[in-house]
Amino acid sequence: MGSFLEKLSREFARRVGYPILDIFYPPHCYLCGKSLSTHRYICESCLDSFEKITDPICEKCGKPALQSGGVCEECAKGNREFFLARSFGLYRPGRGLAEAIAGFKYEGEKALGSDLARLFDRGKTGYLLRKADALTYVPLSRNKRRDRKFNQAELLARAVSRENDIPLFRTLEKTENTRPQAELSREERLNNVRGSFAWEETVDYDSVLLIDDVFTTGSTVDECSKVLKDAGAERVYVVTLARSYPESRDG
């Protein structure tokens, strides 16, 4: 896993270049430790081992379902603000994709972002990339951004924009310091983020792709989608690296 030595070596690489670094610290996979011949941070075997979301899914939010066709119970209520949402894989704590996201998000392993961003071209999320006029990302509050020193969703969005030649814009702002969503119930999550985002500039694109790392209840991306539409977007599509794994599939 990530270590102080690995972080130090990557900073050294940025300053003096990879050829010199390779002599002292050959590249290896963040997850399994396998030696790598190219300067990536997750080997292809580990990327291939990530559990992709496959059919059947909810046609609206992409949640794993028991059978094809129709929408899940939450989307059937008809109050989703986004048009469609899809996630690349399942977030199962202790498994590869979850471990990589945790390292990227909480351990400051920003270099993982480039490999993780490539996952958006695979699986269910690739379809939505091709429908977007431009893309943006879920913002952090100023306090959380200061503590973490980066926004993982922004790094993912910048990599996707660069790799797919899709314009990137910033307009969303987190205006309130809310409680961490991970510690809240579904109803508490909805109330926690309500009214906590705002827009700074109008959106001049019809179809906008909103990027985040993990989709759980969808309350955060719903609220962001609402604000983006208020700012001028006609449709908001959502893609995330992972979907929190439900105890059982439901329709």
> How high is the pLDDT of residue 18?
44
Backbone φ and ψ of 134, nearest 5° = -160, 165
How far is it, in rounded angstroms, from Cα 151 to Cα 157? 10
* One domain for residues 154 and 168: yes
* One domain for residues 33 and 55: no
* One domain for residues 36 and 76: no
105 domain residue, yes or no: yes
Question: Which of 49, 68, 87 is at the close of a domain?
Answer: 49
* One domain for residues 75 and 35: no
How many structural domains compose the chain? 2
> How high is the pLDDT of residue 197?
94
CATH number for position 108: 3.40.50
The DSSP bridge pattern shows strands 172-174 and 197-199 to be: antiparallel
> How high is the pLDDT of residue 5?
53
How far is it, in rounded angstroms, from Cα 145 to Cα 151? 6
* One domain for residues 24 and 60: no
Question: Which of 33, 49, 65 is at the close of a domain?
Answer: 49
> How high is the pLDDT of residue 23?
53
* One domain for residues 93 and 199: yes
250 domain residue, yes or no: no
How far is it, in rounded angstroms, from Cα 151 to Cα 82? 22
> How high is the pLDDT of residue 245?
74
> How high is the pLDDT of residue 183?
64
How far is it, in rounded angstroms, from Cα 56 to Cα 62? 9
* One domain for residues 87 and 123: yes
> How high is the pLDDT of residue 180?
64
Boundaries of domain holding 172: 50-244
Q: Cα dihedral angle (165, 170, 172, 176), rounded to 10 degrees?
A: 130
> How high is the pLDDT of residue 37?
80
> What averages of pLDDT result for each successive group of 10 residues across the chain (251 residues)?
53 48 71 87 95 95 91 93 98 95 94 95 93 96 89 97 96 82 66 86 97 94 97 98 66 28
Per DSSP, what are the bridge partners of residue 31? none
Beta strands in the chain (DSSP E): 84-91, 134-137, 172-174, 197-199, 207-215, 235-244
* One domain for residues 7 and 131: no
How far is it, in rounded angstroms, from Cα 223 to Cα 157? 18
* One domain for residues 141 and 188: yes
* One domain for residues 107 and 148: yes
> How high is the pLDDT of residue 191?
73
Q: Output DSSP code: residue 76.
A: G
* One domain for residues 101 and 135: yes
Model confidence, pTM: 0.86
* One domain for residues 126 and 28: no
